[in-house]
Amino acid sequence: MMMSCRNIDLGTSVLDLMPCGCPCSSSPTSRRILFGNCSKTFCRIGTRSYGGGNLVFLRRDSGSCRAIPAKPKESTLLNGLGQEKTVMFNLRQESRKPISLETLFEIVADDLQKLNDNLLSIVGAENPVLISAAEQIFGAGGKRMRPGLVFLVSRATAELAGLKELTLEHRRLAEIIEMIHTASLIHDDVLDESDMRRGKETVHQLFGTRVAVLAGDFMFAQASWYLANLENLEVIKLISQVIKDFASGEIKQASSLFDCDVKLDEYLLKSYYKTASLVAASTKGAAIFSSVGSEVAEQMYQFGKNLGLSFQVVDDILDFTQSSEQLGKPAANDLAKGNITAPVIFALENEPRLREIIESEFCEPGSLEEAIDMVRNRGGIKRAQELAKEKAEFALKNLNCLPRSGFRSALEDMVMFNLERID
């Protein structure tokens, strides 16, 4: 997997390149590198060259080595956007430690804990039924990725703007984003008639469709109320558009079921409406509350959009490559219901028989299993992987406007974490 690295300070991310056993604590060459709110000890153990740029390999006190550019060139800022030299190297040729969400969000762990403490009281304060529903929703193994992104972008852009601490608006935005996301999941499960999510029964399965719909409506309304109280018209418009996009995405999907003529651009637009719109609005909103320039705010929007699209493509790949137990829902569920995703679109280009099976709505016994095999074996997965990596590269480029910090490194690691799901 070729990735374009903009003088990436790999020493502050989780790209561990080789083991070493040097005693850093006693080495005279050890030094400390600060990132975010913490510092780590490193020991210089050697230098390699990649694409004309030297990388110094350093050992962290955890027992693994990392790489950073030797004598990195200073970035120049033009209208707030850093212009940095591109260094190319092949990540697949280097052994590296898998990225975990726990490690990735460790730098904003306190922020996420405060969010968790607030969510149940915000949602369930007015009705006992909602308290029970909220406990089911927020206790279903959610990864808090969207609010985690809000906090990472908030802190990265706050550093750029010279803010020492997050504002109340930053924190409220993260809560609003998680409420909107959760409300959309409740409604999605009702529309899709899904009984399981993340390995647990869905809200409508436990409490009935009526309560589930009302719980989702309430959460949308509660999020909108908190949004209005932020009193920032630009952010209000931005997040309000997301709720409209959710509906547009569902309508687009419902109107194109079992339609084998769906084009890739149409799929990406639907994916933007259903997934990337919220991510893009949350990352831009975080930048706006840091009071950075419009150029940086727009780059954060594009980062969220590209990351969101990459995540959706990866999710659609996993629908064909993981088991029901791994997914926490039935495998190939989208295809079974006629939802045409990227792997299917690409496989259709090479397998005419697949069109016949899908357009027949799997009326023959075993036809769904045959279609799944075709998607897996006729280039659909590979082409979709390439699409996910393309969007991921765009997302990494969007981060060039941010100063080098642990928060930016964590955002880069988020992009890589997503791709690792299909490695």
Query: What are the distances in angstroms from CA 174 to CA 150, 261, 278, 332, 358?
Result: 6, 38, 11, 31, 40
Q: How many CB atoms lie within 10 A of CB 336?
A: 15
Give 3-state DSSP helix, strand, coil % of the chain, rounded to 5: 60, 15, 25
Instruction: Tell me what pLDDT residue 138 has.
Output: 64
Are 72 and 26 within 8 A, CB to CB?
no
Are 273 and 344 within 8 A, CB to CB?
no
Confidence of residue 293 (pLDDT cuts 50, 70, 90): very high
Lowest mean pLDDT among 3-12, 323-332, 398-407: 3-12
Average pLDDT on 6-15 reads: 35
Give per-residue pLDDT as tens, 103-113.
889 999 999 98
Strands 2-5 and 87-90: antiparallel
How much of the chain, in percent, has pLDDT values that exceed 90?
53
Residue 22 reports pLDDT greater than 60: no
Instruction: Tell me what pLDDT residue 146 has.
Output: 92
How much of the chain, in percent, has pLDDT values that exceed 70?
70
Are 202 and 194 within 8 A, CB to CB?
yes
Nearest to 34 by CA among 93, 116, 96, 107: 107
Q: Which domains does the chain have, with CATH numbers?
A: 101-421 (1.10.600.10)
Residue 152 reports pLDDT greater than 60: yes
Lowest mean pLDDT among 134-148, 157-171, 347-361, 396-410: 134-148
| Residue located via tokens 């974490």 | 417
Instruction: Tell me what pLDDT residue 142 has.
Output: 57
Confidence of residue 199 (pLDDT cuts 50, 70, 90): low
Report residue 298: phi and psi, to 5°.
-70, -40
Residue 281 reports pLDDT greater than 70: yes
Lowest mean pLDDT among 130-144, 164-178, 300-314: 130-144
Lowest mean pLDDT among 134-143, 323-332, 413-422: 134-143
Give per-residue pLDDT as tens, 30-40.
333 333 333 33
Nearest to 356 by CA among 331, 374, 380: 374
pTM, full prediction: 0.75
